[in-house]
Amino acid sequence: MISLFSSMGWYWLVIPLLAAAVGILAVFTGIVRVFSGHPGNGAARLVIGSPIAILGVAASLIALNTQTFVRLTHEAPVAQVSVKALNPSQQLYLVTVQRLDGPKQSTTCNIQGDEWMLSARVQKWKPWANVLGLNTTYDLDQLSNKYTSAAAGNGKTITACSLAGPEPAVNQFVPRAWLFWLLDRSYVEDRNFGSAVYMPLADGAVYRVVITQSALNAEPVNGPAAQANGVRE
């Protein structure tokens, strides 16, 4: 429940729930008072408690619905991609991928082409699991080259570097087949697929890659990147 409170403030959900609880308690005690021979006092509790309970429940539902929207549109930083020209006439660039999602790790790769492409294996969860705070997970795969058209890329060399990290420690103790079996029967996973983003190779360009609840996304960070991508600052 920590993730539910962190993005919207715990009080937006807790205070309406407390109000609803107080109202429901007043309604319950009012009914008891009416049937125990104190109709005046019981009716007063019903009159006061009913609107408090209704308003508290309504406010809680609104707060939870807002939290649902936040979780389903959540995005997190993955990496920063920096480009440096090595030999523009040969379309050769040095591309550095700096991880932003954990320990500072960087990978440098010589890429030849018009664009860089970063790919990952993505695991998307059910919407109800997103609401509870289970965001889309991923494993970065590789950084490779791309050309602006198939005709331009035909016959050209493929240049790529692996971005895959070490195997999770749990794989040493639990067979991967068991993990897949558990996921398949937990009804939490929505789908497992490959996702990739690509942006123009330009000297000095810096890009930011993020993961959304659906796939990878990328955006220019500085002027050279925005200019290469056709975006005006």
Tell me: the pLDDT tens digits for 150-191? 888 888 888 999 998 666 554 555 566 655 555 555 555 556
**Reading across the β-sheet that carries 189-200, which strands appear in turn?**
160-162, 137-146, 115-125, 189-200
pLDDT band for position 3 (50/70/90)? very low
Per-residue pLDDT tens over the stretch 182-222? 555 555 555 678 999 999 999 999 999 999 888 899 999 99
Domain boundaries, the chain: 2-72, 76-228
How many angstroms separate the CA atoms of 105 and 222, rounded? 21
Structure tokens at 99: 């991880």
Confidence of residue 7 (pLDDT cuts 50, 70, 90): very low
Please state, in angstroms and rounded to a whole number, the distance separating the CA atoms of residues 178 and 172: 12
Render pLDDT for 110-154 as a digit per residue (tens, 0 to 9): 999 999 999 998 887 776 666 666 677 788 999 999 999 988 888
Helix (H, G, I), strand (E, B) or coil at 141: strand
Instruction: Report how far residue 212's alpha carbon sits from residue 78's, in angstroms, rounded to the nearest whole number.
Output: 10
